[in-house]
Amino acid sequence: MKKRAIALGLALALSASATLTGCGIVKVVKIGEEGKYTGNVEFNAGDDVAAIWEASALPEMNETAVDLTEFLTQSNGDLTALAEDYGKYSMGDSGELSYVVKGAGTVEEVNTESQAGFMTVKLDGYAGSEAVKIQIGPVYKGSSIRDCLSFIKFGDYKNQEEWAAVSQSINKVVAEDVVAPADPASLQGKTVSFVGAFTVSSGSTDVLITPVVLEAQ
């Protein structure tokens, strides 16, 4: 009996050991690394934008930008007139209308008094009535860059908060990587070249561009 009891105890011990070292073992996962094991990665707008900026966003905008002087001449005062040719709506075929544009001109004014700062630019070869402005922050109005990119769609995000965060992260990149290096305060009276996007504002003929390229010539 004693030998049987010892044998039974040994068998139970081996069984327990196997259970602890088998499929039933609990793995300790560090906070923030859950997505590696669950497949649910926490949304980070900054990381999303950083991943697409140089590789996708800038090449697409440089390729699709229409010359602003030609655009304003063709539109003849109606900024919605060329929507089918060059425009993109924020919600597919509805919503806000935006365009990707490029151009060059002389900086006539640098406004840093407002939080939503801007430069007024007189376009080369254009004498129309539209006021052309380039945003220089620190506050950036609108989401024209996000809305112009073909590979960013509202349906790819969980909610309105994530959708808005993408635009905010894009504007942060614009402020740090595009506007700050250009040193807007030094550009009064100088010629600049730019690539960017603007959204048509109801009842306004102003063209307020958020730049992705801004360089003094």
What is the structure's pLDDT at 153? Answer: 85
Cβ count within 10 A of residue 126: 17
Rounded-to-integer distance, Cα 121 and Cα 124, Å: 9
83 burial class (0-12, 13-18, 19+ CB within 10 angstroms)?
middle
- Find the mean pLDDT for residues 59-69: 97
Confidence of residue 16 (pLDDT cuts 50, 70, 90): very low
Cβ contacts of residue 83 below 8 Å, gap of 6+?
89, 97
Confidence of residue 215 (pLDDT cuts 50, 70, 90): very high
Q: Which of 4-8, 26-30, 118-122 has the highest mean pLDDT?
A: 118-122
Structure tokens at 23: 């499929």
What percent of the chain has a predicted confidence (pLDDT) above 70?
A: 79
DSSP-assigned beta bridge partners for residue 122: 106
DSSP annotation of 185 reads G
DSSP-assigned beta bridge partners for residue 110: 119
What is the structure's pLDDT at 38? Answer: 45
> Is residue 102 over pLDDT 90?
yes
The answer to whether the beta carbons of residues 178 and 134 sit under 8 Å apart is: no
Q: Which of 105-109, 190-194, 203-207 has the lowest mean pLDDT?
A: 203-207
Mean residue pLDDT across the chain: 84
Q: Mind listing the pLDDT tens digit for each residue in 140-177? A: 999 999 999 998 888 888 999 998 999 999 999 999 99
What is the structure's pLDDT at 157? Answer: 87
Beta strands at 191-199 and 97-111: parallel, antiparallel or unpaired: antiparallel
Structure tokens at 157: 């995000």
Give the number of residues written for the chain: 217
Which of 109 and 28 is assigned the larger pLDDT? 109
Confidence of residue 131 (pLDDT cuts 50, 70, 90): very high
What is the structure's pLDDT at 10? Answer: 40
What is the structure's pLDDT at 81? Answer: 94
Structure tokens at 85: 């040719």
φ, ψ for residue 208, nearest 5 deg: -105, 105
